[in-house]
Amino acid sequence: MPKLVLILLSLFILSCDKKAHKDVSSVDPINWSARTVALSVSDSLVEGSSYLSVYSQIYSETEHRTHNLTGTISMRNTNLKDSIFIRKAEYFDTHGNSIRTYFDKPIFIKPMETVEIVIDEKDQSGGTGANFLFHWSIKPTSHEPYFEGVMISTSGQQGLSFTTKGIRAE
């Protein structure tokens, strides 16, 4: 009987030690696949690209000290009636190296809807000069998508936050 209790206690302790796996960036592939649409050449859509600067880290005091930041990347549809389509969202580091592609099949964003990508504070792969490149398609009469980054850090009693706006890349 004491051996059985010891074995059960050991199993309980080992099972508590396992931590849930958490990605450093909140990529929700289910969300992207549920939004996937097929676009056709006959849809007569206007195509474009937009650039958005984001920051995984920001310098503080010197070039040798940085603060880690959480980034919320918003993809916004400012149209009241038309959906827009984001064909690809790619994340690059300070040196221009591709870190990850969040999706490379067109997704839809409904009128007045916002879809977000969150870069966790622990994910420092982007560095101090990270950026996104978005490829999109819209109806000729629609407004272009609006891209915005919100970076924030709250460490101790200190808080830091700022925003960036996307610009047309082509």
What b-and-e string marks burial along 91-101, b requiring 16 or more CB atoms within 10 Å of the CB? bbbeeeeebee
pLDDT score for 20: 46
Identify whether 13 is part of a domain.
no
Domain carrying residue 27: 23-168
In a domain, 153, yes or no: yes
Domain-embedded: residue 1: no
Whether the CB-CB separation of 79 and 111 falls below 8 Å is answered with: yes
Residue 10 lies in a domain: no
Domain count, the chain: 1
CA-only gyration radius of the chain, Å: 21
Query: For position 69, which CATH number holds?
Result: 2.60.40
Whether 39 maps to a domain, the answer reads yes
Q: Each residue's pLDDT tens digit in the chain (170 positions)?
A: 666 555 555 555 555 544 444 455 555 655 788 888 988 777 789 999 999 999 999 888 888 888 889 999 999 999 999 999 999 999 999 999 999 999 989 999 999 999 999 999 999 999 999 999 999 999 999 999 999 999 998 877 778 899 999 999 97
Within a domain: 15 = no
In-domain check, residue 77: yes
- The dihedral built from the CA positions of residue 97, 103, 108 and 113, taken in this order, carries a sign that is negative
Global pTM reads 0.81
Tell me what pLDDT residue 4 has. 58
16, part of any domain: no
- Predicted confidence at residue 18, as pLDDT, reads 46
